[in-house]
């Protein structure tokens, strides 16, 4: 959900490890890259999440392989959007991947990127501090 826009799709974990792709895309954006893309398998099609950073703003675009129009476009403050993604990933890790040892392979065949998420959280904490948090 982005503002009043909602994107809902049944995705597959084959061949894309899209959860890991989200974590890695956010990491490269935090490290200064201006664009990252995550592919989601829809069997037979796919969707792309395109993340475009421009300074302190982030444009989040979803494109579907079978449609030429953008399905969802959301633009907002980079820090706030990344924080929402990280929170959602942490919630997913706790709810879906932390409760039952057998659940991850039943729902998603890739292991949850726990270590990468931990690194992302640390990177977020050190690179996107508010001026008051930095002592400015």
Element (H, E) at 119: helix 114-127
* Mean pLDDT within 69-83: 88
Q: Which residue has the higher pLDDT, 103 or 67?
A: 67
Q: Which residue has the higher pLDDT, 69 or 59?
A: 59
* Structure-token pair, residue 1: 């959900």
Q: Mean pLDDT across the chain, nearest whole number?
A: 83
* Alpha-carbon gap, residue 61 to 28, rounded angstroms: 17
Residue-level pLDDT at 93: 85
The ranges assigned to domains in the chain are 18-123
pLDDT 10s digits, 14-46: 888 999 999 999 999 999 999 999 999 988 889
The closest alpha carbon to 86, from 52, 117, 119, belongs to 117
Residue 70 CB partners (closer than 8 Å, separation 6+): 61, 62, 63
Looking at the predicted structure, is the pLDDT value of residue 102 above 70?
no
* Mean pLDDT within 68-87: 89
Strand pairing report for 70-77 and 46-54: unpaired
DSSP string, 14-54: SS--HHHHHHHHHHHHHTT-SEEEEEEE-SS-EEEEEEEEE
pLDDT band at 110 (very low <50, low <70, confident <90, very high): confident
Report the predicted TM-score, pTM, of the whole model to 2 decimal places: 0.82
Q: Which residue has the higher pLDDT, 87 or 127?
A: 87
């Amino acid at each position: 959900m982005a503002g009043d826009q909602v994107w809902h799709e049944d995705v597959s974990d084959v061949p894309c490890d899209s959860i890991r792709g989200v974590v890695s895309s956010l990491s490269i954006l935090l490290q200064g890259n201006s664009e990252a893309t995550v592919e989601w398998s829809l069997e037979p099609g796919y969707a792309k999440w395109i993340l475009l950073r421009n300074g302190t703003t982030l444009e989040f675009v979803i494109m579907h392989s079978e449609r030429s129009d953008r399905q969802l476009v959301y633009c907002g403050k980079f820090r706030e959007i990344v924080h929402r993604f990280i929170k959602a990933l942490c919630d997913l890790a706790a709810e879906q991947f932390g409760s039952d040892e057998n659940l991850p392979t039943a729902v998603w065949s890739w292991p949850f990127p726990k270590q990468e998420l931990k690194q992302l959280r640390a990177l977020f904490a050190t690179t996107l501090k508010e001026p008051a948090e930095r002592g400015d």
